[in-house]
Amino acid sequence: MRCDPADYHLIAPGKLEAVVSLLANEPGQWLPIAGGTDVMVQFAAGRLASRKLVSIWNLPEMQGVETLPDEIRIGAGSTYSELRGQVVIASEFPLLTSAARWTGGIANQNRGTLGGNIVNASPAADSLPVLLAYEAELVLVSLRGKRRVPYLGFHTGYKTMLLERDELVQTICLRRGFSGYVHYARKVGARNAQAISKVCMAALGRLRGGVIEDVRIALGSVAPVPLRLTELERVLQGKPVEPKLVAQAREMAAAAIEPIDDIRSTAKYRSAVASNLVGEFLEQLRDKGNAA
């Protein structure tokens, strides 16, 4: 049963300072919403618990992509459609372009935002493994000021994160310098489009002298949080991509995840797919990395 609109109060201050002041003065009372794609799903299902909503849609301080010599800074209010249109992202961070293309349909991409995907904290979100692979950093803002935190470790459990009740995610920062890397992104779902991931993966790596110099592997929809396979990465570092190493990597990936049975898939299937994707990535890294 749908929620009753009369039970809710929505305001749109239009300025970031006004929003963070509201969050500071009434902590935990206001739910910030941007595009509203996730909020409206809860509303339609009659499960939207928050009664006081504050719009952060189109706040100027949370918009746009800034290109600096060493990094790019993406406003948390940037939509997936906007991300798809950014040349610097397509050329230097193609995994993010792929994730933006996979997220819902065109309507969702026109409204859904990267910051919203982060704070909604779905373990099946397509963009979150990408942010782990690129070692993103988040700029969090409140009336107390700003702080910059690594995205790795930001999610502490299912739908929980290192975000205080008076804070917003304002900016996502990605360090540049991935030329010469092999980029790999795969989404496995029930359909080719508009499907929630059964498993999604983002990875990148670089070979030097035939051995793995750098590698990052991240998975979604296989644990309570988006997962970076850091232990596997340490094992792969400094080794040539040979069949024995690929087999070991597949086993370690399957052991590192915590998949569940749900309406979309089974734990057994997710484990097999994650293992296969890790193997496929390493084979592409061997072939394309050596060719480069």
State which of 121, 155, 175 marks the end of a domain: 175
pTM: 0.94
- pLDDT tens digits, residue range 75-98? 999 999 999 999 999 999 999 999
Mean pLDDT to the nearest integer, 137-166: 96
CATH number at residue 131: 3.30.465.10
Provide the pLDDT confidence category of residue 148 given band limits of 50, 70 and 90.
Answer: very high
Provide the pLDDT confidence category of residue 109 given band limits of 50, 70 and 90.
Answer: confident
The answer to whether 225 and 155 have CB atoms below 8 angstroms apart is: yes
CATH number at residue 287: 3.30.390.50
Look over the chain and give the mean of its residue pLDDT values, rounded to a whole number.
93
Phi, psi (deg, nearest 5) at residue 232: -60, -40
Handedness of CA 124, 126, 130, 131 (dihedral sign): negative
Could you tell me if residue 268 is left (phi over 0), alpha (psi between -120 and 50 degrees) or otherwise beta? alpha
- Give dist(CA 183, CA 202) in Å, integer: 8
- pLDDT tens digits, residue range 233-247? 999 999 999 999 999
E strands along the chain, which residues? Answer: 9-11, 31-33, 52-55, 65-67, 71-75, 137-142, 145-150, 155-157, 160-161, 168-175, 182-188, 199-208, 211-220, 227-228
Buried b vs exposed e over 219-237: b needs ≥16 C-beta within 10 Å? bbbbbebbbbbeebbebbe
How many CB atoms are closer than 10 A to CB 110? Answer: 14
State which of 175, 200, 220 marks the end of a domain: 175
Tell me, yes or no, whether 68 and 44 share the same domain.
no
pLDDT value at 7 more than 60: yes
Encoded tokens for 152: 């790795």
Tell me, yes or no, whether 233 and 128 share the same domain.
no
Tell me, yes or no, whether 104 and 40 share the same domain.
no
pLDDT value of position 136:
98
pLDDT value of position 260:
85
Tell me, yes or no, whether 108 and 83 share the same domain.
yes
- Closest alpha carbon to 96 in 122, 70, 111, 117: 117
Q: Rounded to 5 degrees, what angle do the CA atoms 271, 279, 292 make?
A: 150
State which of 126, 150, 175 marks the end of a domain: 175
Tell me, yes or no, whether 163 and 187 share the same domain.
no
Tell me, yes or no, whether 38 and 135 share the same domain.
no
Could you tell me if residue 275 is left (phi over 0), alpha (psi between -120 and 50 degrees) or otherwise beta? alpha
Full domain range(s) for residue 115: 60-175
pLDDT value of position 193:
61
Q: Rounded to 5 degrees, what angle do the CA atoms 219, 225, 229 make?
A: 40
- Partnered with residue 211 across adjacent β-strands are 208, 240
The answer to whether 104 and 127 have CB atoms below 8 angstroms apart is: no
pLDDT value of position 79:
95
Q: Rounded to 5 degrees, what angle do the CA atoms 102, 103, 106 make?
A: 95
Tell me, yes or no, whether 94 and 156 share the same domain.
yes
Tell me, yes or no, whether 99 and 70 share the same domain.
yes
Tell me, yes or no, whether 42 and 114 share the same domain.
no
How many domains does the chain divide into? 3
- Give dist(CA 65, CA 78) in Å, integer: 8
- Give dist(CA 183, CA 187) in Å, integer: 14
Could you tell me if residue 149 is left (phi over 0), alpha (psi between -120 and 50 degrees) or otherwise beta? beta
Tell me, yes or no, whether 239 and 205 share the same domain.
yes
- Return the axis-axis angle of helices 267-291 and 243-256, rounded to nearest 10°: 140
Question: Any idea which of 39-48, 130-139, 216-225 has the lowest mean pLDDT?
Answer: 39-48
Mean pLDDT to the nearest integer, 149-155: 97
**3-state class (DSSP) for residue 275:** helix
Tell me, yes or no, whether 143 and 208 share the same domain.
no
Tell me, yes or no, whether 170 and 195 share the same domain.
no
Buried b vs exposed e over 144-176: b needs ≥16 C-beta within 10 Å? eeeeeeebbebbeeeeebebeebbbbbbbbbee
